[in-house]
Amino acid sequence: MKEQFPLRVIIDEAGKLVDEKYKEYVTEEQVKHFYYHMMRLRTYDKKGVALQRQGRIGTYVPFYGQEASQVGSALALGEDDFMFPTYRDHGATLTFGADMDRLLLHWNGRVEGCVPSLTKKIFPAAIPIATQLPHATGAAMAEQYKGTKNATIAYFGDGATSEGDFHEGINIASVFKAPVVFFNQNNGYAISVPIEKQMNSETVAQKAVAYGIPGVRVDGMDVFSVYIAVQEALERARNGGGPTLIEAVTIRFGPHTTADDPTKYRNQESINDVKEEKDPILRLERFMKNNGLWDETWVEKIEAEIEEELNDAIDRMEAYEKADPAHMFDYVFEEMPWTIEEQKKMLLGGGA
Protein backbone atom coordinates (compact mmCIF):
# COMPACT_ATOMS: atom_id res chain seq x y z
CA MET A 1 0.00 0.00 0.00
CA LYS A 2 2.96 2.34 0.36
CA GLU A 3 3.17 2.36 -3.45
CA GLN A 4 -0.41 3.65 -3.60
CA PHE A 5 0.29 6.22 -0.89
CA PRO A 6 3.83 7.46 -1.60
CA LEU A 7 5.53 9.85 0.77
CA ARG A 8 5.30 13.33 -0.68
CA VAL A 9 8.56 15.29 -0.32
CA ILE A 10 9.17 18.80 -1.63
CA ILE A 11 12.38 19.73 0.21
CA ASP A 12 14.53 16.74 1.13
CA GLU A 13 16.83 16.19 4.12
CA ALA A 14 19.76 17.73 2.26
CA GLY A 15 17.80 20.94 1.81
CA LYS A 16 17.20 20.47 -1.90
CA LEU A 17 13.98 21.14 -3.81
CA VAL A 18 13.04 17.75 -5.24
CA ASP A 19 9.63 18.52 -6.73
CA GLU A 20 9.90 21.36 -9.23
CA LYS A 21 6.15 21.68 -9.75
CA TYR A 22 5.92 23.31 -6.32
CA LYS A 23 8.78 25.72 -6.96
CA GLU A 24 6.44 28.74 -7.04
CA TYR A 25 5.50 28.07 -3.40
CA VAL A 26 9.09 28.08 -2.19
CA THR A 27 9.72 31.81 -2.11
CA GLU A 28 12.18 33.60 0.18
CA GLU A 29 9.29 35.21 2.05
CA GLN A 30 7.56 31.89 2.65
CA VAL A 31 10.77 30.10 3.65
CA LYS A 32 11.59 32.75 6.24
CA HIS A 33 8.00 32.79 7.46
CA PHE A 34 8.12 29.05 8.12
CA TYR A 35 11.58 29.25 9.66
CA TYR A 36 10.51 31.99 12.09
CA HIS A 37 7.49 30.02 13.29
CA MET A 38 9.43 26.77 13.71
CA MET A 39 12.14 28.56 15.68
CA ARG A 40 9.44 30.15 17.84
CA LEU A 41 7.98 26.73 18.61
CA ARG A 42 11.38 25.13 19.25
CA THR A 43 12.24 27.88 21.73
CA TYR A 44 8.87 27.59 23.44
CA ASP A 45 9.16 23.81 23.65
CA LYS A 46 12.65 23.85 25.16
CA LYS A 47 11.51 26.43 27.69
CA GLY A 48 8.47 24.31 28.55
CA VAL A 49 10.67 21.35 29.45
CA ALA A 50 13.02 23.59 31.46
CA LEU A 51 10.13 25.17 33.38
CA GLN A 52 8.80 21.74 34.31
CA ARG A 53 12.21 20.55 35.47
CA GLN A 54 12.47 23.67 37.63
CA GLY A 55 9.07 23.01 39.20
CA ARG A 56 7.55 26.15 37.73
CA ILE A 57 4.85 24.33 35.72
CA GLY A 58 3.30 20.86 35.89
CA THR A 59 3.80 17.92 33.53
CA TYR A 60 4.64 19.18 30.05
CA VAL A 61 4.16 17.48 26.66
CA PRO A 62 7.06 18.22 24.28
CA PHE A 63 6.69 18.19 20.49
CA TYR A 64 10.41 18.39 19.65
CA GLY A 65 10.82 17.12 16.07
CA GLN A 66 7.23 17.78 15.01
CA GLU A 67 7.53 21.53 14.39
CA ALA A 68 7.19 21.24 10.60
CA SER A 69 3.95 19.26 10.89
CA GLN A 70 2.45 21.76 13.30
CA VAL A 71 3.63 24.94 11.62
CA GLY A 72 2.84 23.79 8.07
CA SER A 73 -0.67 22.64 8.95
CA ALA A 74 -1.57 25.65 11.10
CA LEU A 75 -0.37 28.26 8.59
CA ALA A 76 -2.52 26.68 5.87
CA LEU A 77 -5.69 27.51 7.80
CA GLY A 78 -7.96 30.47 7.17
CA GLU A 79 -8.70 33.06 9.83
CA ASP A 80 -12.19 31.69 10.54
CA ASP A 81 -11.37 27.99 10.41
CA PHE A 82 -11.64 25.71 13.45
CA MET A 83 -8.77 23.88 15.10
CA PHE A 84 -9.18 20.76 17.27
CA PRO A 85 -5.83 19.96 18.89
CA THR A 86 -4.53 17.15 21.08
CA TYR A 87 -2.35 17.68 24.14
CA ARG A 88 0.77 17.70 21.90
CA ASP A 89 -0.44 20.35 19.46
CA HIS A 90 0.20 23.53 21.44
CA GLY A 91 2.75 24.33 18.72
CA ALA A 92 -0.03 24.35 16.12
CA THR A 93 -2.34 26.38 18.36
CA LEU A 94 0.41 28.91 19.06
CA THR A 95 1.10 29.24 15.33
CA PHE A 96 -2.61 29.65 14.56
CA GLY A 97 -2.94 32.48 17.06
CA ALA A 98 -3.38 31.03 20.54
CA ASP A 99 -2.34 33.33 23.36
CA MET A 100 1.09 32.34 24.70
CA ASP A 101 0.16 33.43 28.21
CA ARG A 102 -2.86 31.14 28.19
CA LEU A 103 -0.84 28.19 26.91
CA LEU A 104 1.61 28.63 29.76
CA LEU A 105 -1.27 28.96 32.23
CA HIS A 106 -2.60 25.64 30.90
CA TRP A 107 0.63 23.90 31.93
CA ASN A 108 0.51 25.74 35.24
CA GLY A 109 -2.93 24.38 36.11
CA ARG A 110 -4.87 27.64 35.86
CA VAL A 111 -8.44 27.48 34.53
CA GLU A 112 -7.69 30.37 32.17
CA GLY A 113 -5.45 28.01 30.23
CA CYS A 114 -8.43 25.86 29.24
CA VAL A 115 -9.37 28.44 26.59
CA PRO A 116 -6.39 28.82 24.21
CA SER A 117 -7.68 32.00 22.58
CA LEU A 118 -10.47 34.51 22.98
CA THR A 119 -10.40 35.38 19.29
CA LYS A 120 -9.49 32.25 17.29
CA LYS A 121 -11.67 29.15 16.98
CA ILE A 122 -9.37 26.79 18.87
CA PHE A 123 -10.95 24.11 21.03
CA PRO A 124 -9.30 23.12 24.31
CA ALA A 125 -6.64 20.43 23.93
CA ALA A 126 -8.17 16.95 23.96
CA ILE A 127 -6.52 14.77 26.57
CA PRO A 128 -8.71 11.68 25.89
CA ILE A 129 -7.54 10.03 22.70
CA ALA A 130 -9.54 10.76 19.50
CA THR A 131 -12.56 12.32 21.23
CA GLN A 132 -12.01 15.56 19.30
CA LEU A 133 -12.57 13.93 15.89
CA PRO A 134 -16.39 13.67 16.09
CA HIS A 135 -16.41 17.20 17.54
CA ALA A 136 -14.43 18.46 14.55
CA THR A 137 -16.87 16.77 12.19
CA GLY A 138 -19.80 18.35 14.01
CA ALA A 139 -18.29 21.82 13.82
CA ALA A 140 -17.57 21.33 10.12
CA MET A 141 -21.14 20.23 9.48
CA ALA A 142 -22.44 23.28 11.36
CA GLU A 143 -20.43 25.55 9.07
CA GLN A 144 -21.75 23.58 6.12
CA TYR A 145 -25.35 24.13 7.23
CA LYS A 146 -24.70 27.83 7.75
CA GLY A 147 -23.40 28.10 4.19
CA THR A 148 -19.93 29.38 5.09
CA LYS A 149 -16.64 28.40 3.48
CA ASN A 150 -15.04 27.69 6.84
CA ALA A 151 -13.38 24.34 7.44
CA THR A 152 -11.96 22.47 10.42
CA ILE A 153 -8.76 20.59 11.12
CA ALA A 154 -8.53 17.77 13.65
CA TYR A 155 -5.15 16.66 14.96
CA PHE A 156 -4.45 13.16 16.26
CA GLY A 157 -1.64 10.66 16.66
CA ASP A 158 -1.16 7.14 15.38
CA GLY A 159 -2.61 5.67 18.59
CA ALA A 160 -5.90 7.44 17.93
CA THR A 161 -6.52 5.24 14.87
CA SER A 162 -7.30 2.39 17.29
CA GLU A 163 -10.13 4.33 18.90
CA GLY A 164 -13.77 4.16 17.89
CA ASP A 165 -14.01 7.96 17.75
CA PHE A 166 -11.52 7.94 14.87
CA HIS A 167 -13.77 5.73 12.74
CA GLU A 168 -17.01 7.43 13.79
CA GLY A 169 -15.69 10.92 13.13
CA ILE A 170 -14.32 10.09 9.69
CA ASN A 171 -17.30 7.99 8.66
CA ILE A 172 -19.85 10.70 9.48
CA ALA A 173 -17.68 13.33 7.79
CA SER A 174 -17.46 11.15 4.69
CA VAL A 175 -21.20 10.49 4.49
CA PHE A 176 -22.10 14.17 4.83
CA LYS A 177 -19.07 15.53 2.95
CA ALA A 178 -18.16 17.66 5.93
CA PRO A 179 -15.41 20.25 5.30
CA VAL A 180 -12.85 18.77 7.69
CA VAL A 181 -9.20 17.75 7.42
CA PHE A 182 -8.14 14.81 9.58
CA PHE A 183 -4.47 15.47 10.26
CA ASN A 184 -2.53 12.52 11.63
CA GLN A 185 0.97 13.03 13.01
CA ASN A 186 2.42 9.55 12.86
CA ASN A 187 5.45 9.78 15.14
CA GLY A 188 5.73 6.00 15.44
CA TYR A 189 4.67 5.62 19.06
CA ALA A 190 1.46 5.89 21.05
CA ILE A 191 3.26 6.59 24.34
CA SER A 192 5.26 3.32 24.46
CA VAL A 193 3.33 1.30 21.85
CA PRO A 194 5.11 1.18 18.47
CA ILE A 195 3.10 1.60 15.27
CA GLU A 196 3.50 -2.09 14.30
CA LYS A 197 1.59 -3.06 17.45
CA GLN A 198 -0.99 -0.38 16.83
CA MET A 199 -2.16 -1.54 13.41
CA ASN A 200 -1.45 -4.06 10.65
CA SER A 201 -1.87 -1.46 7.91
CA GLU A 202 1.29 -0.26 6.19
CA THR A 203 0.13 3.35 6.37
CA VAL A 204 -2.43 5.48 8.14
CA ALA A 205 -3.31 7.20 4.86
CA GLN A 206 -4.69 3.98 3.33
CA LYS A 207 -7.44 3.92 5.95
CA ALA A 208 -9.11 6.63 3.86
CA VAL A 209 -10.04 3.99 1.28
CA ALA A 210 -12.61 2.44 3.62
CA TYR A 211 -14.44 5.76 3.88
CA GLY A 212 -14.25 6.76 0.24
CA ILE A 213 -12.21 9.89 0.89
CA PRO A 214 -8.79 11.03 -0.30
CA GLY A 215 -5.79 9.82 1.69
CA VAL A 216 -2.47 11.65 1.47
CA ARG A 217 0.90 10.72 2.96
CA VAL A 218 3.51 13.43 3.43
CA ASP A 219 6.96 13.83 4.94
CA GLY A 220 6.04 15.44 8.23
CA MET A 221 9.57 16.79 8.63
CA ASP A 222 9.16 18.85 5.45
CA VAL A 223 7.15 21.97 6.27
CA PHE A 224 6.36 22.67 2.60
CA SER A 225 4.96 19.17 1.99
CA VAL A 226 2.70 19.57 5.01
CA TYR A 227 1.60 23.10 4.17
CA ILE A 228 0.68 22.33 0.58
CA ALA A 229 -1.11 19.07 1.40
CA VAL A 230 -3.25 20.76 4.06
CA GLN A 231 -3.90 23.75 1.82
CA GLU A 232 -5.09 21.46 -0.99
CA ALA A 233 -7.29 19.49 1.41
CA LEU A 234 -8.84 22.67 2.82
CA GLU A 235 -9.55 23.98 -0.68
CA ARG A 236 -11.27 20.73 -1.55
CA ALA A 237 -13.27 20.83 1.69
CA ARG A 238 -14.43 24.42 1.17
CA ASN A 239 -15.75 23.57 -2.28
CA GLY A 240 -17.90 20.59 -1.40
CA GLY A 241 -15.25 17.88 -1.82
CA GLY A 242 -15.61 16.58 1.72
CA PRO A 243 -12.93 15.42 4.13
CA THR A 244 -9.34 14.33 3.59
CA LEU A 245 -7.15 12.09 5.72
CA ILE A 246 -3.53 13.28 5.84
CA GLU A 247 -0.75 11.23 7.38
CA ALA A 248 2.32 13.29 8.26
CA VAL A 249 5.17 10.88 8.94
CA THR A 250 7.26 12.48 11.64
CA ILE A 251 9.52 11.69 14.58
CA ARG A 252 9.07 12.39 18.28
CA PHE A 253 12.66 13.08 19.28
CA GLY A 254 11.96 13.25 22.99
CA PRO A 255 9.71 11.59 25.56
CA HIS A 256 5.95 11.29 25.43
CA THR A 257 5.76 13.74 28.35
CA THR A 258 8.17 15.01 30.98
CA ALA A 259 6.91 12.10 33.13
CA ASP A 260 8.05 9.54 30.54
CA ASP A 261 11.34 7.70 30.04
CA PRO A 262 11.50 6.67 26.34
CA THR A 263 14.61 4.56 26.91
CA LYS A 264 12.36 1.99 28.57
CA TYR A 265 10.61 1.11 25.30
CA ARG A 266 12.74 2.30 22.37
CA ASN A 267 16.36 2.69 21.37
CA GLN A 268 16.77 6.36 22.18
CA GLU A 269 20.33 6.34 20.89
CA SER A 270 19.07 5.52 17.40
CA ILE A 271 16.73 8.53 17.63
CA ASN A 272 19.55 10.78 18.78
CA ASP A 273 21.75 9.53 15.94
CA VAL A 274 19.34 10.84 13.28
CA LYS A 275 18.34 14.11 14.97
CA GLU A 276 20.63 16.32 12.94
CA GLU A 277 19.81 14.55 9.69
CA LYS A 278 16.03 14.56 10.25
CA ASP A 279 15.58 17.83 12.14
CA PRO A 280 12.90 19.87 10.26
CA ILE A 281 14.47 23.20 11.22
CA LEU A 282 17.93 22.18 10.07
CA ARG A 283 16.39 20.91 6.81
CA LEU A 284 14.98 24.35 6.09
CA GLU A 285 18.23 25.95 7.21
CA ARG A 286 20.12 23.80 4.69
CA PHE A 287 17.71 24.88 1.96
CA MET A 288 18.26 28.53 2.85
CA LYS A 289 22.04 28.12 2.75
CA ASN A 290 21.89 26.16 -0.52
CA ASN A 291 19.93 28.98 -2.13
CA GLY A 292 21.64 32.05 -0.73
CA LEU A 293 18.79 32.89 1.64
CA TRP A 294 20.63 32.44 4.92
CA ASP A 295 21.05 35.70 6.85
CA GLU A 296 22.83 35.33 10.19
CA THR A 297 21.88 38.84 11.29
CA TRP A 298 18.19 38.18 10.61
CA VAL A 299 18.34 34.86 12.47
CA GLU A 300 19.92 36.49 15.52
CA LYS A 301 17.26 39.21 15.40
CA ILE A 302 14.30 36.80 15.38
CA GLU A 303 15.90 34.64 18.07
CA ALA A 304 16.15 37.67 20.33
CA GLU A 305 12.54 38.69 19.56
CA ILE A 306 11.25 35.19 20.30
CA GLU A 307 13.23 34.97 23.55
CA GLU A 308 11.86 38.33 24.69
CA GLU A 309 8.28 37.36 23.81
CA LEU A 310 8.58 34.10 25.70
CA ASN A 311 10.21 35.59 28.79
CA ASP A 312 7.53 38.28 28.97
CA ALA A 313 4.81 35.62 28.74
CA ILE A 314 6.46 33.57 31.49
CA ASP A 315 6.60 36.64 33.74
CA ARG A 316 2.89 37.25 33.21
CA MET A 317 2.10 33.57 33.85
CA GLU A 318 4.05 33.58 37.10
CA ALA A 319 2.33 36.78 38.26
CA TYR A 320 -0.88 34.77 38.70
CA GLU A 321 -1.71 33.21 42.04
CA LYS A 322 -0.97 29.53 42.36
CA ALA A 323 -3.67 27.35 40.80
CA ASP A 324 -6.40 26.14 43.15
CA PRO A 325 -6.79 22.33 42.77
CA ALA A 326 -10.41 22.61 43.93
CA HIS A 327 -11.27 24.25 40.61
CA MET A 328 -11.05 20.87 38.88
CA PHE A 329 -14.38 19.96 40.46
CA ASP A 330 -16.18 23.22 39.71
CA TYR A 331 -16.58 23.31 35.93
CA VAL A 332 -17.77 19.84 34.92
CA PHE A 333 -21.41 19.64 36.00
CA GLU A 334 -24.04 22.37 36.21
CA GLU A 335 -25.09 20.87 39.54
CA MET A 336 -22.29 19.05 41.32
CA PRO A 337 -23.19 15.40 42.18
CA TRP A 338 -22.75 14.37 45.81
CA THR A 339 -19.89 12.03 44.88
CA ILE A 340 -17.93 14.94 43.44
CA GLU A 341 -18.83 17.11 46.44
CA GLU A 342 -17.30 14.49 48.72
CA GLN A 343 -14.14 14.29 46.67
CA LYS A 344 -13.78 18.08 46.81
CA LYS A 345 -14.22 18.08 50.59
CA MET A 346 -11.58 15.38 50.94
CA LEU A 347 -9.17 17.40 48.83
CA LEU A 348 -9.76 20.48 50.97
CA GLY A 349 -9.20 18.44 54.15
CA GLY A 350 -12.79 18.40 55.29
CA GLY A 351 -13.26 14.60 55.13
CA ALA A 352 -16.00 12.71 53.30
* Active-site amino acid positions: 252, 256, 265
CA quadruple 38, 39, 45, 49: dihedral, nearest 10: 150
3-state secondary structure of 183: strand
Answer for the pair 71, 41: CB distance below 8 angstroms, yes or no: yes
Displacement of CA 338 from its chain's centroid (Å): 37
Strand order in the sheet with 152-157: 121-122, 82-84, 152-157, 180-186, 244-249, 215-219
Q: For residues 217 and 5, what is the distance between their CA atoms, to the nearest angstrom?
A: 6
Q: For residues 317 and 312, what is the distance between their CA atoms, to the nearest angstrom?
A: 9
Q: For residues 70 and 89, what is the distance between their CA atoms, to the nearest angstrom?
A: 7
Q: Which spans in 148-279 are helix H?
A: 164-175, 223-238, 268-278
